[in-house]
Amino acid sequence: MIYLIRHGQTDWNTARRIQGTTDVPLNAVGQKQALTLLPEIKALKLDRIFVSNLKRARETAEILNREIQVPIIADDRLREISFGKWEGRSVLDLSDSVWHQFYQHPEQIGSEPLINVFQRVKSFFEATDLSRNTLIVTHSGTLRIMAYYWEHPESFDFKTYIPFSRVSFRNTSLLCPDENGRLSYFESEGI
């Protein structure tokens, strides 16, 4: 079985700043969120944890692993989308037309094209044996691409992706794909 968690809260989350690949650590609330999940994580009987190479995800995984002591495997294919020169900006400063620029012309802001994120997520899942109980600790943008991938594994189409771009994942929400590949909350819905 595969389980997924969005990392715990950071100060940039509370300020509604775009983090992307900026390496922002968990704040005290984010650390507490991860600790709160420990009983549920123990009950999953995990064999291993895959984690993004960004600090906020690694810290979340390390806290979750305190009692279960399974291998933690960092994989940069699980990192958040790079938002280029937008990183650090408030989400509230970005209008719909600015978001259109991100989706249609990411190179203009030095951002990572969504097709690239899809390709690295696809590469991860094609190369990873998921027959064992596995936890993945990652980011909301990456989770959206994963949700898209499970329903459309062959290729990325922006128009088909649009509904996925609107899905929100709370910090430390624990998810698992259902039999149709759709992500659903597994007991906890985060804090």
The residues that are catalytic are 7, 80
CA dist 156 to 45, 47, 65, 150, Å? 33, 31, 34, 11
CB 78 within 8 A of CB 124: yes
| 12-34 as b/e: b if 16+ CB within 10 A | bbeeebbbbbbebebbebbbebb
- Work out the angle between the directed axes of helices 28-36 and 55-64 (0-180°, nearest 10): 40
Sheet with 134-138, side-by-side order of all strands: 72-74, 48-51, 134-138, 2-6, 174-177, 183-185
Enter the tokens of residue 110: 């030095």
